[in-house]
Structure formats: structure tokens, C-alpha cells
Amino acid sequence: MAIHAAALDCALQIHYLHPSMVVPSASTLSLASYLGADGAPEDMKTYLHDVAWDAETNHVQTLLSDDRVSPGAIKAAISVLTGGGAYQELSQGLWDAKQSDHYKTIEHLNAFIADTHIPEHLRRFTDTAHILLARAHYSVGEYDIAGDELKKVNKHSNALANSLEELSWAYLLNEKYPEAIGTAMNLEAGGLRHTYEPEAPMVMAMAMNELCQYPESVRAIGIFRKNYEQNYHWLTQWSHDADSSKLYKTSVDFIQRKPTQVPERVASEWIRSPLFISTQEEINLYFDERDAAPKISKAAATEQRWIANDILTKARELKPKLKIAKMKLKPGQSLSSGLRDSLASLKDEVIHWRRMQLAAPVWTVISKRYVATIPTQQGKLIARINGDLKTRNLRMLTQLEEISENIQLIEVEIYNGASEDIIWQNAHPDYKQVAKTFRDEATAPDKVWDWGRSIANSDDNTEIWEDELGSFKANIFDNCSSKDKYLSLHLNRRK
């Protein structure tokens, strides 16, 4: 059992280094015996339990990723984790999130994060837990807590851009409009401006509209159209034939900075895919193994020659010593222990050399057969990536179509509000002059919103703001409330 557990543990460690290399689900069949090993020494019992819970947590995640698996099978798998602490809480929380059971998701994922004994290899799920917790709080209307959870996502995480977009929504629904605008703007500037997050300009437009900043709201819509029009046309054109066979090659060309027709934001969304990243690592391993095979053969041949030369040298040195020793031997005497050890050592070296000679042809056959399978295996992995990128393309196209429809409705609301605003300002001709004092007060040094800095990529060591964003930074104040202040001021003057 201990040997089997050690083998399973090794398979899990390989999976953590290379996530696309999955642990076979058949390995979970003996986990019950691990957990029932009550007669084992305490340290071995702890080890068996940890391996069992680790393997079962991995198994649960595999089941959750397959919509064909029945809920009963998933519940049965999670039941194996009873008493597993962080393993149990994480698995149960992921299942609750998939079931949209928001309150249970909050309960179990909070317990997972609060666990002070989270195994090191489970800590990589911390960002995922924060994001799922935020979505659960968001769904039950707890926008403040949702925002706090999203702020805990690691700034170097691959999910940072997505978490910022979700954070802007949380601020918007919590009526924290300056914060919503500032968060969304971070996705349109600096290193993050290359990422695909089309909802950010829409959030800006809606927040600006709520602040009665109608020109800036229209400008935010313009940013969406400018930044995503090319993406929409490319995705639409691609969807006509939906050919996914060249997506992988195109993504590699993009990484290698070769010219492509794919918009930057679409391509950046491809290469941020966790499946793309993990599968590409596996493809790279195949390349490494293919290149290593002839080097290993060459190194083995060199070692054989070295051993053969060493055997000959030792034999030449030992032969006269052995001859002299035998001449000096008297009846009943044996060779000295040192000479016998030298002979035994030489014999072992000869045996090792002969084994290498016999193994060389076998190794050559195995190596060639394995290398011959690499193109097939790489083809399967590339097909997996192409399938994932195709799904992402369809999702991005659907998302852009939905946002475009919503943008039209937002525009109608903006222009209606702007029309009423023009009428109202004509009825109060001194408003602009009075409002200027409100604006100066709102943008005083102690009240300016701290916009922060977006994390730049390797090509951008400083923050870059697009021209359209300049006016946003200077004019974020609540025009709607300034009207109320204006009316209140005039009412007090009349009194």
C-alpha cells in the first residue's frame, strides 16, 4: 500500500508541474484502503490520508469539468473527503459554485481560505476561491464583500484582468461610481489594455451616465467601438467557416511576434487560456524528449567506450601484479584481500559493460518507437487547444453581440438624460457658473480618486493613458448631485 501510495503521489506531483498530464481516475479505486489503514504507524497513516485526499480532490475536479457526470457520482466522490479539512472544503465549495448554491459556496470556500493548514499544492486555488466567493456574494447582493474578495486576487494572477472587470461591476451595482470608473479604466490603460475585457467600457458608460456626465459617457461607448470593432469583424468573419484547424498555429505566431491578421485582444485571450498554457507545456516536453533521445544514445555510447577503456587499463595494470602474486604463493595460501577486491571490482565493471552492450539495442528500439509516437501525441494536444480556442471565439463573439445590443439601450438612456439636462440648464442659466465651484471642491487634493497603476507587461514599464481617458480623470464628479446642491442653494437664498 505504501509503495502504491508513493507512486500515486509521484503522479500527482507531475500533474502539479504539468496540469495537462492528468492523473488516471483508476488510481482512486484504492483510496478507501488508504483511509482505512488504521493499523499503520501514525506517520504512515498521515501520509496515506494526505495522498488519498489529494488524489480524490484531483478526481473531483476532473468530474466537475465534465457536464456528463451525474450529480450522484460527484457527491459520492466528495463524501470520500470527509474529515479532509481543506481538501473537503475546496471540493465542496467548487461543487456548490457549479450548482449556483451561493450561500453554501460562501460557507465552504470561506472555510477553505481560513484553514491555517492548507497544503502547499492547494494554495494555487486561492485566487480561484476568492473569485468564486466574490461571484457568490455578488449574486446575493453583497457587493461590498464581493469587491473585497476580488481585491485579494494576486496582482500577478492570470485572472487579474477578469477580476478587475468583475470588480468594476460590483462597484457599479454598489453605486460607487467613481470606483467603478477607475477600475474599468485600468483595463483600458497600461499593460492591461491588451487584454480582452469588453465590458469595462460599458461599465464606464453606465457609471458616467449615473453621474450625469453625458459627454464622457458617450466617449466611453466610443472607446468600446474603437477598441472592439476590429475584434468583432474578425470573429464574425471567422464564424462563417468556423475553421479551428489553424488557430493554434496563429496563436504561436502571435507569441513569436510574427505578423497575423488576428486582433491583439482576441489573440491575447487565446494565450491566457489555462488549457492553452498547460497543454503547450506538455507539447514543449515532447519537443524536449525528442531532442534528448539522440543525446542520451550518444552519451551512452561514450560511456560504454569509457568503461571499456577503463577495463583495459585496469586489466593491464592488474595482470603483472596477479602473475607475480601467484608465483609467490605457497601451497595452501590464497591471494591477498586487496588483490581479490581488485579482481572483484574488475569483474563487476565487466558485467556492467556487458549489460550496457545488451541494453543498447533495446534502448534504441524503444527510443525510436517512442519518438515516432510524438507527432501523433502532439497532434492530439494541438487538436485539444484548437477546440478550446474555437469555444473561446464563439463565446467572445456572443459576448460582443450582447454588449452591442446593451450599448444601444445605454445610448438611448444617455441621450434622453442629456436632452433633459440641456433643457434643465437652459432653465437655470447661472447653473454652469455655480457648478464650477462644486467641481473645484470635488476635485480638491484630498478628494481626488486614487486611480492607482495597472501592472505593465514586459513592453510597458510605465503607465500609459489613451487620449480618450484624459478627460475622465479630470472630470469625475457627480453632476446629478450638483444640481441638487444648486437647487438647495437657490432655495436657501429665497428664504
pLDDT digits (tens, 9 = 90+) for 316-335: 998 998 888 888 888 878 88
For range 117-136, the mean pLDDT: 91
What mean pLDDT do residues 20-42 have?
Answer: 69
pLDDT tens for residues 371-412? Answer: 999 999 999 999 999 999 999 999 999 999 999 999 999 998
Contact 389, 244 (CB under 8 A): yes
CA distances from 225 to 167, 229, 230, 401 (A): 22, 5, 9, 12
Can you say whether residue 266 is alpha, beta or left, with left for phi > 0 and alpha for psi between -120 and 50 degrees? alpha
Percent of the chain at pLDDT above 70? 82
3-class state of residue 182 by DSSP = helix
Which one has a higher pLDDT value, 406 or 24?
406
Question: pLDDT band for position 350 (50/70/90)?
Answer: very high
If you average pLDDT over every residue of the chain, what do you get? Answer: 83
Scan for cell 458617450, then name that residue.
218
The pLDDT assigned to 419 comes to 73
pLDDT band of 423, cuts 50, 70, 90: low
Q: What is the mean pLDDT of residues 470-477?
A: 53
The pLDDT of residue 445 is above 50? no
Residue with cell 541494453: 359
d(CA 12, CA 10): 5
What local confidence, expressed as pLDDT, does residue 28 receive?
Answer: 54
**pLDDT at residue 172 above 70?**
yes
Q: What is the mean pLDDT of residues 62-74?
A: 89
pLDDT at 36: 67
pLDDT of residue 173: 92
How far is residue 230's CA from residue 264's CA, in Å, rounded to a whole number? 10
Least confident window among 225-239, 343-357, 400-414, 433-447: 433-447
The per-residue pLDDT for 30 is 67
Q: By C-alpha distance, which of 480, 467, 469 is closest to 418?
A: 480
The stretch 243-256 carries a mean pLDDT of 91
pLDDT in tens, 138-156: 999 999 999 999 999 988 8
* Average confidence (pLDDT) over 350-369: 92
pLDDT of residue 240: 87
Is the pLDDT confidence value at 252 over 80?
yes
Q: Is 369 helix (H, G, I), strand (E, B) or coil?
A: helix
User: Highest mean pLDDT: which of 36-40, 132-136, 491-495?
Assistant: 132-136
When comparing pLDDT for 396 and 42, which is higher?
A: 396
Query: What's the rounded mean pLDDT across residues 39-54?
Result: 82
The three three-digit cell numbers of residue 411, written as one number = 445610448
473, 451 contact by CB (below 8 A): yes
pLDDT band at 427 (very low <50, low <70, confident <90, very high): low
Band of residue 43 on the pLDDT scale cut at 50, 70, 90: confident
pLDDT in tens, 80-108: 888 889 999 999 999 999 999 999 999 99
The predicted pLDDT at position 460 comes to 41
